[in-house]
Amino acid sequence: GIQVEQSPPDLILQEGANSTLRCNFSDSVNNLQWFHQNPWGQLINLFYIPSGTKQNGRLSATTVATERYSLLYISSSQTTDSGVYFCAVPQTSGSRLTFGEGTQLTVNP
Amino acid sequence: SAVISQKPSRDICQRGTSLTIQCQVDSQVTMMFWYRQQPGQSLTLIATANQGSEATYESGFVIDKFPISRPNLTFSTLTVSNMSPEDSSIYLCSVRTGAEGAQHFGDGTRLSIL
């Protein structure tokens, strides 16, 4: 099946800094999702982004499907951005998601 | 996107007992998914719950340990049976909705077994 790798595994920032998280996948996919898991365990949808670029406030994501990677950009980070960021892709069209191992982000005040 | 309600949000259970987790969606969905997240780990799919047929289990998960019900298109339950400390995890319900088919998750059930 499709393998998903995320980097870096851990990231520590000072409030106000920018960051880029990366997600590589081993085969063609028809969609990709980014999630944020907050410290209470809630998994929040950030982006559904099979290709191209999307922006939502301080966050944006770009997927280059032909090169099998996606990037999540966080600008002007805040302490509330702390948590684990996961990317996930489906194994086959419309099927269940396979998750990467996540990036643990800590934003210090 | 769908509103997904999970109950209970957390529980502490004794080993050897069973717990049933409920997942309610505010709209009809074809497929519902149950995931497990062990401490410090990523999410792993347990099974896909299909209405009108038996659930489809992933490798390493069996029906006797994780029986699933799907009585209608808005509701599903997952039971964690004969629990041991290794079952301490967050269990999450998920559905696919909308034209894009994006997946959305409930808030999860944080389960601790003593």
DSSP state of B99: T
Per-residue pLDDT of B75-95, as tens digits, reads 999 999 999 999 999 999 999
Chain A contact present for B96, CB below 8 A: yes
Per-residue pLDDT of B11-28, as tens digits, reads 999 999 999 999 999 999
Contacts of B37 in chain A (CB under 8 A): 41
Per-residue pLDDT of A19-38, as tens digits, reads 999 999 999 888 899 999 99
Parent domain of A17:
4-108
Min Cα separation A16/chain B (Å):
27
Q: For residue B91, what is the nearest residue in chain A, using CA coordinates?
A: A41
Min Cα separation B114/chain A (Å):
20
How many cross-chain Cβ pairs, A to B, lie less than 8 Å apart?
48
* CATH code for residues B10-98: 2.60.40.10
Structural domains of chain A, count: 1
Chain A contact present for B42, CB below 8 A: yes
Check CB contact under 8 Å for A33 and B102: yes
Q: What are the residue boundaries of the structural domains of chain B, listed by start?
A: 10-98
Share of chain B above pLDDT 90, in %: 84
Higher-confidence residue: B70 or B31?
A: B70
Residue A43: CATH number of its domain? 2.60.40.10
Chain A contact present for B100, CB below 8 A: yes
Chain A contact present for B104, CB below 8 A: yes
Residue A103 in this model has a pLDDT that exceeds 60: yes
Nearest to A99 among B42, B100, B104 (CB): B42
Question: Three-class SS string for chain A?
Answer: CCCEEEECCEEEEECCCCEEEEEEECCCCCCCEEEEECCCCCEEEEEECCCEEEEECCEEEEEEHHHCEEEEEECCCCHHHCEEEEEEEECCCCCCEEECCCEEEEEEC
Long-range CB pairs of A2-6, under 8 A, 24+ apart, other chains included: A2/A26, A2/A27, A2/A29, A2/A89, A2/A91, A2/A98, A3/A98, A4/A87, A4/A88, A4/A89, A4/A98, A4/A99, A4/A100, A5/A100, A5/A101, A6/A85, A6/A86, A6/A87, A6/A100, A6/A101, A6/A102, A6/A103
